[in-house]
Amino acid sequence: MAEDYLHRIRNKALRERVVTAEKAAELIRDGMVLGMSGFTRAGEAKAVPLALAERARRAPLKVTLMTGASLGNDLDKQLAEAHVTARRIPFMSDPSLRRAINAGEVMYIDQHLSETVEQLRTCQLPPVDIAIIEAAAITESGGIIPTTSVGNSASFALLAEKVIVEINLNQSEQLEGLHDIYIPTYRPSRTPIPVVTPESRVGFPFIPVPPERIAAIVVSTKLDSAANVSDPDEGTQAIAGHLTEFLKNEVAHSRLPTHLHPLQAGIGTIANAVLHGFIDSPFHDLTMYSEVLQDSTFDLMDAGKMIFASGSSITLSAPKYRQVMERFQDYKPKLVLRPQEISNHPEVVRRLGLICINTALEFDIYGNVNSTHVMGSNMMNGIGGSGDFARNAFLSVFVTKSIAKNGRISSVVPMVSHVDHTEHDVDILVTEQGLADLRGLAPRERARVIMANCVAPDWRDGLEDYFTRALVRGGHTPHLLEEALSWHDRLRRTGTMKPE
C-alpha cells in the first residue's frame, strides 16, 4: 500500500489528517451521535466502527448510530455485541442487533428512509456529532466522492460537527461521476426538487464539505459484503410470472406503455426474482428509480431490457460485483446514485409514477400489509423505503409467498398483527398462488379477490369461514375482534396457525 493512496486525497492540506482507524475512533466519545455511510450493506465506513467496537470492549461507551440503512461486514453485530449501540436509526438487518432490539436493550427508531435527514435538518432528532463516510477519493476542494452508496452520507457530512473520511482503496476510482448529490433547500423557501426523469442529474458528483470540517482521514481496504440473495425458485418464479402477466394485460389495455413506468423493487430474494423475471417479458427500454440496485438490475441491462437505473446504492452478489466492476465504464452512463432522501422522496416518486414492488411479511384479507413485525411484537428489519414508495406509487405491488415455515404459517391472515402499509396504499398483492388487483374495490370485495387468488389451498377454508362469520356481524370492514389475531396466538402457543 505504502503511500499509494495519496493521489486519492487531491486536497494536499488534507493529507496531513491521515491517521489510523484507532486514532480516528478516539474522536468518538460516550453519548455521541454518529452519522455513518452505508445503505443496504454497501459503502459503509468499515475501519473506524470496527476500531470503535474494539475499543468499547476495553472501555465501554454508548452512542446513537444513524446510517443510511443496513450495514455489511457484520458492523451492526460487532457494535451491538460490544454494547456500543444504545440507539439505532433508521434501518438495520443484523440478527445480533435484532435480538438486542427485541430484548429492549437497543432503542430502535424505524423510519421511512426519506425522512431521517429531514428531521435532522430541523433539529427534530439529536444533532450528529461525527459523520464517518467511506469515500473513493477527496477532491481538490475537499469534496467527498462516495463509493457504492450515498444513503444519508451527504446530509450527515454537511450537518455533523466533524467528519471522518475512510478512503477505501478497494473501492474503484471509477466510481467518481456516478453520484448526484442534491440537498433540498431549507423550508419555508424550498424550491421543487428538479428530478423529472430517472436520468436527471441535478447536483454535484461529490459531497461538498468544507475541508476544515474533515477531522481525520483513515485508509481502509475491506470490500463491501456480498449480497445474500437466493436464486429464484419455483415460488418466486410463479410470483414473477403472475406479475408479468398482469403488467402485459395493463399494456394491452393501454394503461401502461411497453416500457412500463420506472420500476422500484425492495431488497431481497423475492423482489430480485420478480425483476429477474422481466428478462423473459415483452417489456423493453425499462428504467428503474429505486433505492437499491441489485443483481437483477444489471442482468436486465445485460439482456438489453433496461436502459437506465437510478438508486441510492449498488448491492451485488460476489460474482456479479466482479463482472460489473470489470466493465464499469460500460454501465456507468446508465447509472446514477442519489441521496436516499431523493431516491425515496415522495415528491419524485409521485411525479415519476413508479411501479413499486415490495415484500410483505404478511397481509390480511382486506389488504393491509405487515412488513416489519413478526407476531406483531418482534422487529424483523424495518420499514425501510417501502412506505416512501408504496404511498406515492403509480402501482403499489406487494409480494410474498403464501405460506412460511413449511406450511405452518399462512402469510394471508384475518388481520395483520402489525400494520405498516394500510389498505389505502396497496394496489396489487401477489403470491405464488396468484394476483389480487385491489384497485377501486371496497374492503368486502377485496377480501373475496384476495381469498380467491392469493391464499394457499390449505388455508382458504379457514379464511372464508372467518370472513363469512364476520359478515354476519357486519361493518364496512367486517371483523370478529375476539378472533382476529387468534391465528397468530395459536402459532405462538402451538407452533402452527392450524387449528388444534
Residues 399-438, interacting with a second copy (CB under 8 A): 415, 417-420, 422-424, 427
Rounded CA separation 386/47 (Å) = 30
Span of 76-84, 193-201, 273-281, 331-339 interacting with a second copy by CB under 8 A = 193-201
Residues 438-467, interacting with a second copy (CB under 8 A): 439-442, 444-445
Rounded CA separation 279/159 (Å) = 42
Longest dimension (CA), the chain: 77
Q: Say whether residue 135 binds a second copy (CB under 8 A).
A: no
Among 191, 234, 326, 500, binds a second copy (CB under 8 A): 191
Q: How far is the CB of 410 from a second copy (least distance, A)?
A: 15
Rounded CA separation 300/279 (Å) = 6
Is 69 buried (19+), middle (13-18) or exposed (0-12) by CB count in 10 A? buried
Q: Say whether residue 298 binds a second copy (CB under 8 A).
A: no
Decide whether 77 or 98 has the Cβ nearer to a second copy.
98
Span of 249-257, 298-306, 332-340, 397-405 interacting with a second copy by CB under 8 A = 249-257
Q: Say whether residue 125 binds a second copy (CB under 8 A).
A: yes
Rounded CA separation 403/85 (Å) = 34
- For 248, half-sphere exposure in the C-beta direction (CA atoms, 13 angstrom radius) is 11
Q: Say whether residue 110 binds a second copy (CB under 8 A).
A: yes
Q: Give the Cβ contact number of residue 346 at 10 Å.
A: 15
Among 7, 23, 255, 405, binds a second copy (CB under 8 A): 255
Size of the site for a second copy (CB under 8 A): 85
Cell numbers representing residue 410 in the block: 399462512
Span of 143-151, 171-179, 190-198, 234-242 interacting with a second copy by CB under 8 A = 190-198
The DSSP annotation for 303-348 comes to TT-EEEEEESEE---HHHHHHHHHTHHHHGGGEEE-BHHHHT-HHH
Active-site hit among 166, 176, 199, 291: 291
Residues 334-393, interacting with a second copy (CB under 8 A): 345-347, 350-353, 368, 373, 375-379, 383, 387, 391-392
Q: Say whether residue 197 binds a second copy (CB under 8 A).
A: yes
**Angular region, 49: left φ>0, alpha ψ -120 to 50, beta rest:** alpha
Among 58, 59, 188, 500, binds a second copy (CB under 8 A): 188
SS3 per residue for 352-388? HCCEEEEECCEEECCCCEECCEECCCEECCCCCCHHH
Span of 7-15, 144-152, 234-242, 468-476 interacting with a second copy by CB under 8 A = 468-476
291 is catalytic: yes
Positions annotated as catalytic residues are 291
